[in-house]
């Protein structure tokens, strides 16, 4: 279904991004996965065809890290699909008490790094590449206690809207919905992860949007939960 599609996945060392790399490679795509932790990236591609499953450790928050990624991305250029799945939770704190440094760091990774990476990747992208932003319910409607995480995902929604109006290829926002990953466990430690969807459960919409004909108009905002078991 995704034979020979060339896909870049950020956040590939864990949770949703890790599952995405495995799923895309399993469907015949050539995938470059990135995140900071090399050992965890190696685990992501364990058992996968090394011709189609590639990794590059890089800190997307730093210019040097993004340069390393872009150099490696040339190996799979022209890239058909970019999925911006990397993200950080930041502190769960009310706005009145939100620590300043974490405010900047969380915005930097969840928004600014995505914007800068898009600019820096342009020469590696197919002319009408698909861009997928991984958003959140709290980015669609803010909720108390989610602080800069919610604010940065709302900013991401705005950035994707602007990009959809400018970019020649399809641009999508996908809200995974609560999914059993390390980030979710950090956000809601009291929750039993077996009661919510796994990363594998929410893959159908990410597969569909990565296809040559994604089936939705650019700018569409989708909820992964609507596509479970379809």
Ligand X SMILES: NC(=O)c1ccc[n+]([C@@H]2O[C@H](COP(=O)([O-])OP(=O)(O)OC[C@H]3O[C@@H](n4cnc5c(N)ncnc54)[C@H](OP(=O)(O)O)[C@@H]3O)[C@@H](O)[C@H]2O)c1
Among all residues, which ones are annotated catalytic? 149
Rounded CA gap, 208 and 110, in Å? 24
Residues 6+ apart with CB under 8 A from 211: 1, 2, 5
Distances (CA, A) of 105 to 10, 91, 149, 185, 219: 17, 11, 10, 20, 27
Position among 2, 6, 9, 11 found at the interface with ligand X (CB under 6 A): 11
Cβ(20)–Cβ(9) under 8 Å?
yes
Tokens of 111: 């928004």
Of 2, 6, 7, 15, the residue at the interface with ligand X (CB under 6 A) is: 15
Residue 98 token pair? 């939100």
CB of 193 to ligand X, least distance (A): 10
What mask, x for binding ligand X by CB under 6 A, covers residues 129 to 168? -----x-x--------------------------------
Question: Binding-site residue total for ligand X (CB under 6 A)?
Answer: 29
**Is residue 184 within the footprint of ligand X (CB under 6 A)?**
yes
Provide the minimum distance between the beta carbon of 170 and ligand X in the complex, in angstroms, as a whole number. 19
Given candidates 27, 40, 68, 77, which one binds ligand X under the rule CB under 6 A?
40
Query: Residue ranges of the alpha helices (H) in 122-202?
Result: 137-140, 147-166, 182-187
Min dist. Cβ of residue 127 to ligand X (A):
26
Which of these, 210, 222, 204, lies nearest to 29 by C-alpha position? 210
**What is the C-alpha separation between 163 and 64, in angstroms, rounded?**
24
Q: Which one of residues 70, 179, 206, 214 is an interface residue with ligand X (CB under 6 A)?
A: 179
Write the interaction track for ligand X spanning residues 47-76; mark x where CB under 6 A is met and - where it is not: ------------xxx---------------
The residue ranges that bind ligand X (CB under 6 A) are: 10-17, 35-37, 40, 59-61, 85-88, 109, 134, 136, 176, 178-179, 181-184
């Amino acid at each position: 279904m995704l034979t020979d599609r060339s896909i870049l996945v950020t956040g590939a060392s864990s949770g949703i991004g890790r599952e995405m790399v495995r799923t895309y490679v399993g469907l015949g795509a050539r995938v470059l996965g990135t995140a900071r932790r090399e050992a965890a990236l190696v685990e992501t591609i364990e058992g996968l065809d090394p011709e189609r499953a590639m990794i590059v450790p890089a800190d997307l928050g730093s210019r040097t890290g993004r340069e390393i990624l872009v150099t490696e991305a040339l190996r799979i250029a022209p890239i058909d699909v970019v999925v911006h799945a990397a993200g950080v939770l930041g502190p769960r704190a009310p706005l009145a008490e939100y620590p300043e440094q974490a405010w900047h760091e969380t915005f930097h990774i969840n928004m600014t790094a995505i914007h800068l990476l898009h600019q820096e990747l342009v020469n590696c992208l197919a002319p009408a590449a698909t861009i997928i932003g991984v958003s959140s319910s709290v980015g669609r409607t803010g909720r108390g206690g989610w602080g800069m995480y919610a604010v940065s995902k709302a900013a991401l929604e705005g950035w994707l809207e602007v990009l959809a109006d400018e970019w020649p290829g399809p641009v999508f926002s996908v809200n995974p919905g609560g999914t059993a990953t390390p980030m979710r466990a950090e956000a809601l430690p009291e929750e039993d992860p077996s009661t919510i969807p796994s990363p594998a459960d929410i893959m159908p919409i990410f597969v569909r949007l990565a296809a040559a004909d994604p089936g939705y108009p650019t700018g569409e905002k989708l909820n992964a939960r609507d596509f479970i078991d379809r």
